[in-house]
Structure 1
Amino acid sequence: MRSWFITGISAGFGRLMAAKLLAAGDRVAGTLRNPAVADDLKAQFGDRLWLGTLDLADGDAIRPVVDAAWAAFGRIDVVVSNAAYGLLGAAEEVTDAQIRHQIDTNLVGSIQVVRAALPHMRSQGGGRILQLSSLGGQIAIAGGSLYHATKWGVEGFIEAVAQEVAVFGIGCTIVEPGSSRTGFRGQGAVVGPVIAAYDASPSRRINRAVDDKSIQSPGDPVKVVDAIIASVDVHPAPLRLALGSDTYAQIKNALTSRLADLEAQRDIACSTDYEDGRSLDIF
């Protein structure tokens, strides 16, 4: 039996994961903004489900909730930093308040969840951190600039943290699902005010995708959650877990293009060094 800490269990991947783990006999400490949404799970699974009220945008509340979850269970084997949403619209269209809330939730909130968990994991001698990113943590499309900023940011954070904490027996995995039928484009998306001039911009395609409810995503959320859970049994922890045919294809295209661009700049890159041959391998 494992014990899990999962942020955002009210819907989507978080809800599916919590229900599946509890049904399998594990314990789950789950957070959500409105605990009443999980009353049915609590009634079914009792003390194996611990609920904490948490809005990741409230940074000061994160550590006390993480500490309380550890106090309730004694040990937590897997931390799943899952809660997030998408702020969509051209960069000029979204408001300052929307930008701040997106960054506080997706990036700063995720960072603080991991920071709060690490002292406990070090003390218990290890554990696993699963950070939910997305296809949007490796590629970028017009109309998603602020969402991409948070996902690219949290991927860089976790990639560095994974190197810092491996010595303590803590493994980290960045989970990159593609578009899945979780309701993300409905409940999980906030769209900025519309500026008419951007009707001529490629960014408007993302507005149409949100509005058109007939569009079906390729990803099966149940299969995605199964793959996420199974990754915990893989040793060493995979740094990244790409899930979905769209994730595979689009990330491959993006990386191939970036590598080609880099190779084209090899001569100019190397020409800017001093000629004494010294190197510094920190970066």
Structure 2
Amino acid sequence: MARLLGPAEIRDLAELLDVTPTKKLGQNFVHDGNTVRRIVQVAGVQRGETVLEIGPGLGSLTLGLLEAGADVIAVEIDKRLAAQLPHTAGVMQPGTSLSVVTQDALLVTELPGEPVRLVANLPYNISVPVLLHLLEHFESLRSGIVMVQAEVGHRLAAEPGSKVYGVPSLKAAWYGTWRTAGQVSRMVFWPVPNVDSVLVGFERGTEPGTLEERRATFAIIDAAFQQRRKMLRQSLSGVLGGSAAAASEVLERAGVAPEARGEQLVIDDFLRIARAAGEA
């Protein structure tokens, strides 16, 4: 079996590169091989397929993906880590396929390949924006497993009516279906984070509308949850005609009760509101 990074190797690499994990970049490095292999297994990685990894860091998950036979495209913003990663893979798992892109994941729009699966320990401070950016720009991504802060993961996978259902839940639902896929112990990270982590899985579906409709729908979602407890006729008055009465007319045309609240609606409801607003 190929070698993965353990606690000693993680610390040796960090010392070699003079890397001190930073909260700004959301750097918490996984040092437990069993956790890495579990993530790869849950993700359903197949030999020979192209997998996208965001924020590979010192390479813990990267090596697990390579061990499974994936062709890995890794996007890393830290130049020191990006430069070291091919050397680490070459020593610990020679003969495997790794491409490293040194760029901010929020800005990347081109990759050296077409990944079909996303598997990543995402930087927790920007996990939702990164996910939405990748799904917008890389239609080849059909499924994935990401590790995120537990609070964020539960929001992504939340059902309508839940206390944590909101903007991330709805925007993610535009692209497909989401589920939580298990917890991850704090103790498998260095440094140990002060938050809990979960795995979140997604399967891509058919987007329900056009690019223009998505932008309009997302703007309405943002407005609906700025004042979560208000009825839609009030919370959407600013984007649907400038008054509660005007918003009510649009909502009624969309088949949505003006007295409803955002957390009661699914993504198709918000799309209907956007389309009704566009007809005004």
TM-score, length of structure 2 as denominator length: 0.42
Between structures 1 and 2, the one with greater helix share: 1
- Higher-RCO chain (CA-CA 8 Å, sequence separation at least 6): 1
